[in-house]
Amino acid sequence: MLTLYSWNVNGLRAVHRKGIFLDWLARTQPDILCLQETKCRPDQLSEDVLHPPGYYTYWAVSERPGYSGVALYCKQPPLSVQVGLGLPDFDREGRTLVADFGDFTLVNAYFPNGSRDHSRLPFKMQYNADFLDTIENLRQGGQSVIFCGDVNTAHQPIDLARPRQNMNATGFMPIEREWIDRVVERGYLDTYRTLYPDTTGAYTWWAQVTFSRQKNVGWRLDYFFISPDLRPRVMDAAIHPDVLGSDHCPVSLTLAIETDDQ
């Protein structure tokens, strides 16, 4: 059994400083943990966060200090890890890690935010397009694919509290949602929604400005998608809104795959 978690931490140093990160990690013990918005270089971290007992860690860093960044924590080292998509425009922002675990290739991604004024929407849609090309190439190479992270888009009206008010807000615009349609058309499964097609109020992000978390006025922006061949292995998919410390909460996926744990 393999447990995978994904969490946009909104600053790894901040969630560590609050005394939350290592506690949660020690308690949860995911086999694989994907972080987004780490907002740091590894050399800015203390040893306890950089190398928690039992974990290998991998880092994608933005050229711009304090911005973006993703990390991978895992109990077994991948066969290989690729930092970035191989596309400098995106890779300089530290958005992507691709890890080959043998049974599957895992892509941990912090998808671009379209920006309130929509100025980064073209950049986001280009990332999304190139991202889909990348994972399709992996599948054509015979790999099973899992991708997770902050997709920065709610797919359907059920995936946010105020769908009608946000039709023209980045994160729920038709063009953004259609990209997820395309992902699903290619056969990828939104694991949480596949298991819980009708569950409402299932969100992973809440705006801090409006204190919307206490009212659960949120969005489901964080996902675990799998290629369809992995469907028989899915044991559970979950959202963990009780885990505080960021404006996002973690999401998880449990697979029926043996680990080498002794």
Partner DNA sequence: CATTCAATG
Q: Compare residues 3 and 246 and give the one whose CB is closer to DNA.
A: 246
Provide the b/e sequence for 183-221 (b: ≥16 CB within 10 Å): beeeebbbbbbeeeeeeeebbbbbeeeeebbeeebbbbb
Report the residue from 53, 142, 168, 209 that binds DNA according to the rule CB under 7 A. 209
Q: Compare residues 120 and 162 and give the one whose CB is closer to DNA.
A: 120
14 binds DNA, rule: CB under 7 A = yes
Cβ 250 to DNA shortest distance, Å: 16
Of 66, 91, 72, nearest to 7 (Cα)?
72
Of 129, 100, 86, 106, nearest to 227 (Cα)?
106
Phi/psi of residue 187, nearest 5 degrees: 105, -10
Of 161, 203, 157, 196, nearest to 180 (Cα)?
157
The 94-133 contact track toward DNA, x by CB under 7 A, reads ------------------xx-xx---x-------------
Burial of 125 (0-12, 13-18, 19+ CB in 10 A): middle
Q: Clarify whether 240 is annotated catalytic.
A: no
Q: Is 166 annotated as a binding residue?
A: no
Q: Is 248 annotated as a binding residue?
A: yes
Largest interatomic CA distance in the chain: 52
Annotated catalytic residue within 5, 16, 31, 150: 150
Q: Compare residues 165 and 208 and give the one whose CB is closer to DNA.
A: 208
Annotated catalytic residue within 55, 73, 110, 188: 110
Q: Where are the alpha helices (DSSP H) in 53-173?
A: 88-91, 121-140
Cα–Cα distance, 147 to 142 (Å, whole number): 16
The 42-71 contact track toward DNA, x by CB under 7 A, reads --x--------------------xxxx---
Cβ 184 to DNA shortest distance, Å: 24
- Please give the single-letter amino acid code of residue 58: Y
Q: Clarify whether 150 is annotated catalytic.
A: yes
Number of residues that bind DNA (CB under 7 A): 24
Q: Clarify whether 181 is annotated catalytic.
A: no
Q: Compare residues 56 and 211 and give the one whose CB is closer to DNA.
A: 211
Q: Is 91 annotated as a binding residue?
A: no
Q: Is 137 annotated as a binding residue?
A: no
Q: Compare residues 9 and 99 and give the one whose CB is closer to DNA.
A: 9
Radius of gyration (C-alpha) of the chain in whole angstroms: 17
Cβ 189 to DNA shortest distance, Å: 26
Provide the b/e sequence for 140-164 (b: ≥16 CB within 10 Å): eeebbbbbbbbbbbbbeebbbbeee
* List of residues contacting DNA (CB under 7 A): 10-14, 17-18, 37, 39-40, 44, 65-68, 112-113, 115-116, 120, 208-209, 211, 247
What residues act catalytically?
110, 150, 248
